[in-house]
Structure 1
Amino acid sequence: MSSEAREWVWEHSSSRGAARLVLLSIADRVADDQCISWASLSSLAKRTRASVSTVREAIERLILADELEQLDDLVGPQRSTVYRLPLAADALAQARCEQQGEDGDATVSDEPVAPAKLRLSALRRYGIRPREVPESPVRVRKPAVPETGRSRRKSAQRRTGHRHSDVPATDTQNRSEPDLNRRYSRSGAAVTSAAEWQVDPATHTWTRQQGHLDRLGKQGLQAADAKWRAHRSAHPPRPADAWAADWRSWIAREHAPSRPNLHAGPGKNSAAPGGMTRAEAHTAALLAALDEPTGLEG
């Protein structure tokens, strides 16, 4: 079935560049006619000869184009992410119906075929399983305790270290991806510095849904990101989900560059209104001045 999925990508996909290579790599691992596949960001980066950030952006574009689905309730081999090619699956299902009609086994209909329910039993043979299933038969999950991404990690060898139990867990990174999580704390949680941490697709989506991208603009969002990294450069390494929560909180408090605080001049010692420091107000004023016309353009 992987050959049919790849053929659909070659013939019908509208993706281009790195996104097309990523989609072909995912289609190369399609298991059956359900067009389910699995891959990690690091493996896709290795196969496409692209950076992890480029692969992440390509996946986000494919999801927005409805050519790829990320099935967060499933997990693949080595805790890899599970994907589905919905348009390819619909095309294969339609082709099967037409073939059955030509053979006289069924009546051909012009209406599109309704998506079939995933057959999880058929996917288990490829190492794809529901995420809530415990990975080890030794551990017994209590039904009264909600399951998180950290609850499946072994704790027998833990001796010291801080467990960030107050930070919400995300599924955007895997421990099997060394390009994203380069170091690990003694507690077993992947940690990285603020400079090395990259904004994940879920956080990109959050900035659009919460209106921060429209409020700050692309340049303003980049300036806020650079300021955040400068302020967090001296902080010790933390898990990626902790940086994501801290980054979102920073962006939510950031003032739009189009409305800088001009009351904090060089000769004033009082704090700038709106919670901004004098240095932050000067930076916002310079960014706003760069966007205004000077009259010398033409």
Structure 2
Amino acid sequence: MSSEAREWVWEHSSSRGAARLVLLSIADRVADGQCISWASLSSLSKRTRASVSTVREAVERLLLAGELEQLDDLVGPQRSTVYRLPLAAEAIAQALREQREEAGGTAVSDEPAGPAKLRLSALRRYGIRPREVPELPTRGRKPAVPETDRSRRKPAQPRTGYRHSDVPVTGTQNRSEHDLNRKYSSGGASVTSAAEWQVDSATHTWARQQGHLDRLGEQGLHAADAKWRAHRAGHSPRPAGAWAADWRSWITREHTPSSPNLYAVPGKNTASSSGMTRAETHTAVLLAALDESTGTEG
């Protein structure tokens, strides 16, 4: 049927120039009397030797003139656009009716159907099929399906009375949670805070063997310990071994007091005529406050 469609374009189409070439190229792919064809802008541009923009304008002119229809609900080979030549289809249908009348009313098998009722089964042989467009949810629109009771149901509140049978009534369920005595469990090793950690006998023996006790003196070692606890107050709990190693490193870096007056006696005048500077006086007051008993010692 492509020859009949091309003949109609040559004899009856009012198109001119590039639009006429585009219509002839589309008519060249007409499959049957329905005058359905397919083409893409790039293929039409290649066949007519015109630019894509020129082909697009030509197609628009043909659509406005009614000599071409674009069937958006169909798709051709390689997802090309499907067109129909309605005037050519009417002319071919009229010619078939005349042939039927001349044959004495005998039905003609190739008689095309009307524009609203296309024979899709015949078009599938040429790779033309209905376009499958997935239904995408509209942004901001509620779903058409009514909500079920499950979707409107609020999440159930946790049941406070339900517990696993293997969890005791008292005590923590997670080893990383705080216990009542502020001790922690991590991999089986007990951890504590810097304020609760106590210098054990091994650490005290180390300080004596390394000469730190003789270098700092008992009072200086006590002051260094107080400063270490003040600096480590905000640190997270650690195992006792980690605190011991950190404490030893602190004591090793602690400077030897340059004067016994550096550690002032509580209640005494720190600004005496000992020759101390203002900075030394402030340091002595701070160390005296750290050395003062607070009544919380074990």
- The question of a shared fold, defined as TM-score above 0.5 by the shorter chain, is answered with no
Structure index of larger Rg: 2
For normalisation by structure 2, the TM-score amounts to 0.43
